[in-house]
Structure 1
Amino acid sequence: MQLSSTTSGKAGSNPMGEGAPIVYVVDDDISVREALEALIRESGWQPRVFGSAQEFLSHSRTATPSCLVLDVSLPDLNGLDLQQQLASTRNDMPIIFITGYGDVPMTVRAMKAGAIEFLTKPFGDEALLDTIRDAIQRSTTALGQEAELQLLQKRYASLSTREREVMALVVTGLMNKQVGGKLGISEITVKAHRGQVMRKMGATSLADLVNIAAKLGSSCGN
């Protein structure tokens, strides 16, 4: 980085609007935090800077596109261990590692665990900004997919037990008569249930319903 800054570097500063993407920074070097805070703010994102992993973990989560710029060497929980801890809960927040030193095993471990970049200090501002832009786009996509899945799960929960049974069979390609034979109900009844399924799930065609079932995964048909 080739920056200087007079910003305070306090955690949780919010000079941007609430809707702007958030770039979290965890680094125990205050000069790095201040420089990155200024760079992030000037680029139109919300900076959130922390001096340790524990400070970051105590910060409340928001459903806003975000990424994490994370130093490997930290005073408590190191960056790689923090990455592992976040793996199951923050898959919508890509991680960009930064470090004053690095080796191949460290880089491989970080990338295998899902990091999108591993930058060694000193690095150029544009290299970091390009990576952050990519990370924010990935986060936006992930949040959109998560919101869509939650909506589909809510719709699926509104189906009756019989409607779920009909849906599970219909999406396999069975005709109404075949579905009725498997469930022991009339073809007319299957047709009625199928219509309800299409309406409740917001499906406009069989192909659309099949796609919805695929997104729901194992929850469909249980």
Structure 2
Amino acid sequence: MTVSVFVVEDDFAVRDSLVLLLRSEGMRARGFANGEEFLDNLPNDPVACVVTDLRMPGADGFEVVRKLVELRGEAWPIVVITGHADVSSAVELMKAGVTDFIEKPFEPHRLVETLKGCIRRVQEVGASLERRADIDRRLNQLTTRERQVFEALAGGLSNKEIAAQLDISPRTVEIFRAKVMSKMEAANLSALVRMSLGLT
């Protein structure tokens, strides 16, 4: 999964050099001139990384961080760069959900390595989201009765217990169980239970 890196920086020269640096490292990078432009045209990537300056006219880095944490959560880790670093700002940003805080001037290598770490993490998040979507797709193929049997199986009930709960015969439960296993593409009961756990 390719993960985009969005650079929010009002200084054109800095923004341009950062985008070029990240692209030279094989990253898919795109720049935004300020927080308002970025938030008004927020990409719909399920996962991404953001590098934002702190002090910008209009929507500053704090506003970008607050909005992104609200809308994207851990799927979009944020790295803040600033030439106006202070302890209280760093603490506030970390509490708000920022992944890292880098003071200007900074070593390009540090930013690149930080972002590579972010990308590895969000790729895992993205893979998890894809697995969840795949399980949801399979669940949507189940009939109401098959969904009841799925939930009962995932809850650890035996065929006999499911039959009593749903007021159907054990033989009918076996038929529904086979359909559930097939539609959910579960090799065995433990795989089915793991799928159910992935939904919580």
Return the TM-score normalized by structure 1. 0.82
- The structure richer in helix per residue is 2
1:184 aligns with 2:167: yes
- Retained in 2: the 8 A contact 1:24–1:69? yes
- Retained in 1: the 8 A contact 2:154–2:196? yes
Structure 1 residue ranges without an equivalent (≥5): 1-18, 218-222
Cα separation, 1, equivalents of 2:90 and 2:151: 44
- Retained in 1: the 8 A contact 2:35–2:63? no
Cα separation, 2, equivalents of 1:153 and 1:88: 24
Residue aligning to 2:107:
124
Tell me how large the CA RMSD over aligned residues is: 1.9
- Retained in 2: the 8 A contact 1:70–1:97? yes
Cα separation, 1, equivalents of 2:87 and 2:8: 22
1:197 aligns with 2:180: yes
Structure 2 residue ranges without an equivalent (≥5): none
Deviation at 1:60, TM superposition (A): 5.5
For residues 92-171 of structure 1, the aligned pairs below 5 Å read 92-171=75-154
State the aligned residue count.
199
Residue aligning to 1:8:
none
The one-letter code matched in structure 2 to 1:190 is V
Cα separation, 1, equivalents of 2:97 and 2:180: 37
Deviation at 1:104, TM superposition (A): 2.7
Distance 1:173 1:192, change over 3 A: same
Identity %: 35
Residue aligning to 1:210:
193
The one-letter code matched in structure 2 to 1:84 is R
Residue aligning to 1:10:
none
